[in-house]
Structure 1
Amino acid sequence: MKILLAEDTLDLNKVITSMLEMQGFVVDSAIDGAQALELALSNGYDGIILDIMMPKMDGLEVLKEIRRRNIVTPVLMLTAKAEVDDRVEGLDAGADDYLTKPFAMKELMARVKAMTRRGSQYAAKEISFGDITLKSESLELICANTVRLSLKEFSLMQALLLNQEHPVDTNYLIEHVWNDETDVEEDTVWLYVNFLQGKLEYINSGVTIKGEKGGSFQVVVNE
């Protein structure tokens, strides 16, 4: 598998590159946002790691541009900031995951493996419910309008649709959508449920997600 790594701290860039290569990944390395964007637009990758704070273009700008170009490659954001607002901004811009510095290299490797594995599992099939269709190949949620989902949003919506006949509790979702991650809490699930609810409203769907923070969730059709 091939990874694009964009990290402007040279020593950290070299360490991450070496660790990824030891795990069998082929790595293209960039030291600023402009170089990262050029590589992302001209090559195919199984995963992209973007530092948020970079010269020329920051990671969020790079992320927004590749999503605008309909590049659906999974993206893991690295940030030195721990505030929730920074995490939300990255996730809302189309990131699939984030990791706050400083981090353990073992944790980064686990996140990258999980991200690329999930990205390779999506078959070209559709799931329909009510007036929506979830397309695995393009990660699109379709109704009157169409919106692209991040990998985690897709995984969460897929889990809800596959269990549409009954509520799915938060612990189940943590285990099955965030199965390789150790720092996921009920707040994380609630954040993504809200992301999905906003996208259902955006596409003018009659489908909604019922449930409360920390409890169970179920997709239903509004009457």
Structure 2
Amino acid sequence: MDNKILLVEDDIDISNNIKTFLSLNGFKVVQAFSAGDTFDIFDEKEISLIILDLMLPDMFGSEILKVLRARGIKIPILVLSALSEEHNKVSLLELGADDYLTKPFGMKELLARIKSLIRRKDGFGLVAEKGPFRVDREKSQIHFHGNLMNLTATEYKLLLFLFENSGRTFSREKLIDKVWGEEYFVEARMVDVYIRRLREKIEADPSNPQILKTRRGFGYVLEI
């Protein structure tokens, strides 16, 4: 597991305990003990998730949360706090927190929350965003640059598969197997037809695709 977590917690003992536990479970943990540390580290390192304590010596965690979201940073943020009242949780979620864990908490629960947030970040939740796409699996909808796409059932399945595997190249045969299934007889050229249809809906110039590309001799890849 290559996910790197930024742990923002001013209590050194708590921070070290969390770091040790998460390290044993395959995560890389970078520690910050103040708001200043947080912004310095964040500028330098590629972070997959932030664990953010609310009570810091130089700035409230809620203010850090607002700053990060104001910068357009979409990394999942899990807030830790001793404040358990519902209105505190609601206000933090409205500020942009992705989840909230009340102290004291169990390490196994912390791990479960982290894994859930990373799955959602990587596109395995019901709703996922990546590049210009927003996928809602529950509604079987895909938005492109904020606009709902008008897709047939097959176009949806094909685009969803490519979205979930963005950056990977698939041959026509592999796409037939993964999207249509072995029980259907689909000619390879039909894949080209559906690829062309999708390009007409997402490419500024379908004849010169910049998102749904062809790797000659290998297949198709969605680059986002």
The C-alpha deviation readout for 1:168-191, integer Å capped at 9, x for no partner, is xxxxxxxxxxxxxxxxxxxxxxxx
Q: Are 2:46 and 1:48 aligned?
A: no
**What does residue 19 of structure 2 align with?**
17
The C-alpha deviation readout for 1:171-216, integer Å capped at 9, x for no partner, is xxxxxxxxxxxxxxxxxxxxxxxxxxxxxxxxxxxxxxxxxxxxxx
**What does residue 178 of structure 1 align with?**
none
Q: SS of the residue aligned with 1:136?
A: strand
Q: Are 2:94 and 1:116 aligned?
A: no
Q: SS of the residue aligned with 2:139?
A: helix
**What does residue 108 of structure 2 align with?**
106
**What does residue 130 of structure 1 align with?**
none
Residues 74 and 135 of structure 1, relative CA distance in 2, 3 Å threshold: closer
**What does residue 194 of structure 2 align with?**
none
Give 1:1-223 correspondences, 5 Å limit.
1-121=3-123, 136-138=129-131, 158-162=136-140
- Find the aligned partners of 1:92 and 1:140 in 2 and give their Cα distance: 23
Q: CA deviation at 1:37?
A: 2.4
Q: CA deviation at 1:122?
A: 6.3
Whether the 8 Å contact between 1:122 and 1:136 is mirrored in structure 2 is no
Q: CA deviation at 1:58?
A: 1.5
Residues 139 and 98 of structure 1, relative CA distance in 2, 3 Å threshold: farther
- Find the aligned partners of 2:61 and 2:83 in 1 and give their Cα distance: 13
Aligned length: 139
* Over 6 Å off, 4+ runs: none
Specify the code of the residue in structure 1 equivalent to 2:19.
Answer: T
Specify the code of the residue in structure 1 equivalent to 2:130.
Answer: E
Higher relative contact order (CA 8 A, sep 6+): 1
Q: CA deviation at 1:41?
A: 3.1
Q: CA deviation at 1:43?
A: 2.2
- Find the aligned partners of 2:105 and 2:48 in 1 and give their Cα distance: 22
Q: For structure 1, list consecutive stretches of 5 or more residues without a partner in the other structure.
A: 124-133, 142-153, 165-223
Q: CA deviation at 1:52?
A: 0.8
Residues 20 and 139 of structure 1, relative CA distance in 2, 3 Å threshold: farther
Q: SS of the residue aligned with 1:50?
A: strand
- Find the aligned partners of 1:34 and 1:43 in 2 and give their Cα distance: 15
Residues 39 and 122 of structure 1, relative CA distance in 2, 3 Å threshold: farther
The C-alpha deviation readout for 1:82-138, integer Å capped at 9, x for no partner, is 011110111011111010001011100111111112211269xxxxxxxxxx98215
Q: Which has the larger radius of gyration?
A: 2
Specify the code of the residue in structure 2 equivalent to 1:75.
Answer: I
Whether the 8 Å contact between 2:34 and 2:58 is mirrored in structure 1 is yes
Residues 113 and 139 of structure 1, relative CA distance in 2, 3 Å threshold: farther
Whether the 8 Å contact between 1:122 and 1:137 is mirrored in structure 2 is no
RMSD, aligned α-carbons: 2.6
Whether the 8 Å contact between 1:5 and 1:30 is mirrored in structure 2 is yes
Q: What fraction of aligned residue pairs are identical, expressed as a percent? A: 38
Whether the 8 Å contact between 1:2 and 1:25 is mirrored in structure 2 is yes
Q: TM-score, normalised by structure 2?
A: 0.56
- Find the aligned partners of 1:139 and 1:109 in 2 and give their Cα distance: 30
Whether the 8 Å contact between 1:6 and 1:51 is mirrored in structure 2 is yes
Q: TM-score, normalised by structure 1?
A: 0.57
Q: CA deviation at 1:70?
A: 1.0
